[in-house]
Amino acid sequence: MKALQEKILREGRLIGTEIVKVDSFLNHRIDTRFADEMGEEIARLFAAERPNKILTVEASGIAIACSAARAFGYLPVVFAKKSRPSTMVDGSYAAEARSFTKGTVSVLVVAKDFLSPSDRVLIVDDFLATGEAGLAMCSLAEQAGATVCGFCAAISKNYQGGAARIAQKGIRVESLADIARIENGQIIFTE
């Protein structure tokens, strides 16, 4: 998605040599009009997969997941939580995800009520790098017996292996902008 590449180049900031910070429009401040444009692109890419539910993880995935859900004609969104709330009393699916930048392991949790074997789940997230969170979400859907009909990240760094790990499960993986490498402080996209 050319507009996303341009926005990353214009507004993104490099932290060190690996982290691209896009909190001016995606992770902290949300450009809601642009989120809807990304949602429309996601719906276009995955229209043929006919998802009936969008799965994401709190917090930065929620806005773009809701935009995609709207573009599909208002699908429900389920967001996995990073800890089990005290009110989640009726059973849940859980899967671990390591964070390489933070050096922590978090457990993603979804209440059993909100994923079922009849679901065709499209997983949407803001970032895809090593694929830890993505694989954890795949696991949550699989535990429920749901079909994962696709995975879409706004921004990916496929060279970090996450896209391949998810694709290995037979899941179609797309991103709206794939960073091929960061070179001398420049972001180079996959064309």
> Which segment (77-85, 138-146, 147-155, 166-174) binds its own copies by CB under 8 A?
77-85
Which region among 1-9, 64-72, 137-145, 168-176 touches its own copies (by CB under 8 A)? Answer: 64-72
Give per-residue burial for 109-139: e unless 16+ CB within 10 Å, then b.
Answer: bbbeebbeeebbbbbbbbbbbbbbbbbbbbb
**10-39: contacts with its own copies (CB under 8 A):** 15, 19, 21, 23-24, 28-33, 35-36
Residue 118 main-chain phi, psi, to 5 deg: -85, -5
CB contact set of 52 (below 8 Å; sequence gap of 6+): 75, 118, 119, 120
Closer of 137 and 173 to its own copies (Cβ): 137
At closest approach, how far in Å is the CB of 85 from its own copies? 8
Which residue number, 55 or 173, has a Cβ lying nearer to its own copies?
55
Region 81-120 residues binding its own copies, contact defined as CB under 8 A? 81, 86-89, 101-102, 110-111, 113-114
Closer to its own copies at the Cβ: 24 or 160?
24
Least Å distance, CB 191 to its own copies, is 27
Q: Which residues contact 53 (CB under 8 A, 6 or more apart)?
A: 75, 76, 77, 78, 115, 119, 120, 121, 122, 146
Instruction: Choose among 110, 105, 112: nearest CA to 123.
Output: 110
Cα–Cα nearest to 165, from 38, 12, 50, 156: 156
Where along the sequence are the contacts to its own copies (CB under 8 A)? 15, 19, 21, 23-24, 28-33, 35-36, 58-59, 62-63, 66-67, 69-70, 74-79, 81, 86-89, 101-102, 110-111, 113-114
